[in-house]
């Protein structure tokens, strides 16, 4: 089974199945049938330049733009970002910019006409688009992308988007490849106890209880005093105080201990971690369950040893 499929299965077991209705919706009748790939792509950009929010709702939310396969992959990406990725890194297709303009910024007065938009057919099922996002800047280069379409239910749908590498459109630099690489990276991070420990330490240092909770397997066992271990439930009102205690113990100026111990990469050993295996670091126990490392125990009574 491909790695990204394993990830989605693991995520489903961790968090329960999530229905991405907006991504997987059946195509709506509000978008007229396009006679050709060029017609669909041109109509989309015409509407997108005129009103981005309305175009996203009309084409993307309705399911009338992407193919079933592309929508499924986008749903898996969204699911992985929301339910498996727990750090603060940007996550998801288009999270770092506008995927339809291949840019993070644009002329606020940009229109279809001012951009010099062109759409040229390539073979029977691909379209090369080109435009300028800063047409008033003489130094601005034209952005180019290639849309690859498939025929589904008598309608043209976008199945992939290729971005240029050294001036030429390259399948290795495509929407699908980018999404797959991100899902694999999310899966790899979830299986890395050093990654989980690193984020937990950051959130304790910053006293961010809500982010700290992303890595906790509730109910988590908390031991504040010898022989006094109790379970904390999700959304437990005591959690912010626990994070503050951890912060004051390990990070506050004048604290006897300077920072939480870190876990070296590869601490869990070579290969995939075994289910229910445990790695201890300072006051924390991390347990590997259903595809990810989770904070399963906080024991403030342990001696200050980096790795036990």
Query: Is pLDDT above 80 for 13?
Result: no
Domain boundary among 137, 153, 186: 186
Shared-domain flag, residues 165 and 269: no
**Same domain, yes or no: 240 and 138:** no
What is the model's pLDDT at position 268?
Answer: 59
In this predicted model, which residue has the larger pLDDT, 258 or 94? 94
Question: Is the domain of 139 the same as that of 199?
Answer: no
Long-range contacts of 49-52 (CB under 8 A, 24+ apart): 49/110, 49/111, 49/112, 49/115, 49/117, 50/111, 50/112
* 111, part of any domain: yes
Rounded Cα gap, residues 293 and 301, in angstroms: 22
Look over the chain and give the mean of its residue pLDDT values, rounded to a whole number: 87
Per-residue burial over 184-197, b = 16 or more CB atoms within 10 Å of its CB, e = otherwise: bebbebbbbbbbbb
DSSP symbol at 166: T
Q: Is residue 306 included in any domain, yes or no?
A: no
Same domain, 292 and 228: yes
Examine the domain organization and report whether 60 and 73 are in the same domain: yes
Residue 92 lies in a domain: yes
Looking at the fold, whether 162 and 214 belong to one and the same domain comes out as no
Please check whether residues 179 and 245 belong to one and the same domain. Answer: no
Q: For tokens 């399963």, name the residue.
A: 296
Is the pLDDT score of 221 beyond 80?
yes
C-alpha to C-alpha distance for 272 and 150, rounded to whole angstroms: 37
Say if 176 falls within a structural domain.
yes
Residues 69 and 137 in one domain: yes
Domain membership of residue 307 (yes or no) is: no
Residue 241: pLDDT above 60?
A: yes
* Global pTM value: 0.79
What's the domain count of the chain?
2
pLDDT in tens, 44-73: 999 999 999 999 999 999 999 999 999 999
Residue-level pLDDT at 20:
38
Q: Is residue 238 included in any domain, yes or no?
A: yes
Judgement on whether residues 283 and 177 belong to the same structural domain of the protein: no
Per-residue pLDDT of 15-35, as tens digits, reads 333 343 334 444 444 676 788
Indicate whether 172 and 53 sit together in one domain.
yes
What's the token pair of residue 199? 């984020």
Last residue of a domain, one of 139, 169, 186: 186
The reported pLDDT for the residue numbered 22 is 39
153 φ, ψ (degrees, to nearest 5):
55, 35
**pLDDT band, residue 267 (cuts 50/70/90):** low
The answer on 210 and 118 residing in a single domain is no
Residue of higher predicted confidence among 307 and 85: 85
Measured distance between the N- and C-terminal CA atoms of the chain, rounded to whole angstroms = 36
**Has residue 11 got a pLDDT over 80?**
no
- CA angle at residue 255 from 254 to 260, to 5 degrees? 135
What does the pLDDT average to over 157-182?
89
Domain that holds residue 245: 191-299
What does the pLDDT read at residue 269? 57
Position 172 pLDDT exceeds 70: yes
Confidence band for 303, pLDDT divided at 50, 70 and 90 = confident
Tokens of 268: 């869990």
Q: Find tokens 């084409």 and name the residue.
A: 59
pLDDT of residue 253: 83
Does residue 123 share a domain with residue 233?
no
pLDDT for res 254: 77
Least confident stretch, 150-164, 176-190, 293-307: 293-307
The angle at the Cα of 121, spanning 120 to 122, to the nearest 5 degrees, equals 115
**Sorting pLDDT into bands at 50, 70 and 90, what band is 185?**
very high
The CATH number given to whatever domain includes residue 285 is 3.10.450
Query: How many beta carbons lie within 10 A of that of residue 69, not counting itself?
Result: 14
Contact 217, 294 (CB under 8 A): yes
Task: Write down the pLDDT at residue 209.
Answer: 97
């Amino acid at each position: 089974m491909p790695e990204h499929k394993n990830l989605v299965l693991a995520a489903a077991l961790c968090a329960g199945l999530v229905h991405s209705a907006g991504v997987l919706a059946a195509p709506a009748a509000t978008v007229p049938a396009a006679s050709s790939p060029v017609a669909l792509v041109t109509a989309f950009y015409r509407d997108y330049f005129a009103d981005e929010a309305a175009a996203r709702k009309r084409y993307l939310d309705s399911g009338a733009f992407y193919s079933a396969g592309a929508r499924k992959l986008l749903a898996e990406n969204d699911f992985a970002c929301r339910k498996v990725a727990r750090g603060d890194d940007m996550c998801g297709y288009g999270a770092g910019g506008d995927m339809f303009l291949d840019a993070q910024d644009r002329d606020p007065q940009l229109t279809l006409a001012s951009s010099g938009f062109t759409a040229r057919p390539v073979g029977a099922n691909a379209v090369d688009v080109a435009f300028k996002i800063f047409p008033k800047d003489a130094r601005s280069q034209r952005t180019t992308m290639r849309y690859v379409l498939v025929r589904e239910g008598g309608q043209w749908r976008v199945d992939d988007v290729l971005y240029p590498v050294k001036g030429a459109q390259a399948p290795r630099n495509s929407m699908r490849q980018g999404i797959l690489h991100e899902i694999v990276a999310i899966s790899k991070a979830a299986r890395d106890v050093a990654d989980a420990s690193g984020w937990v330490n950051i959130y304790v240092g910053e006293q961010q209880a809500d982010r700290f909770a992303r890595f906790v397997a509730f109910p988590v066992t908390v031991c504040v005093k010898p022989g006094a271990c109790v379970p904390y439930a999700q959304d437990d009102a005591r959690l912010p105080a626990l994070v503050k205690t951890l912060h004051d113990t390990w990070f506050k100026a004048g604290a006897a201990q300077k920072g939480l111990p870190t876990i070296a990469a590869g601490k869990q050993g070579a290969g995939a971690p075994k289910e229910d295996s445990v790695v201890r670091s300072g006051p924390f126990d991390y347990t590997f369950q259903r595809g990810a490392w989770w904070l399963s125990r906080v024991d403030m009574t342990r001696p200050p040893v980096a790795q036990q």
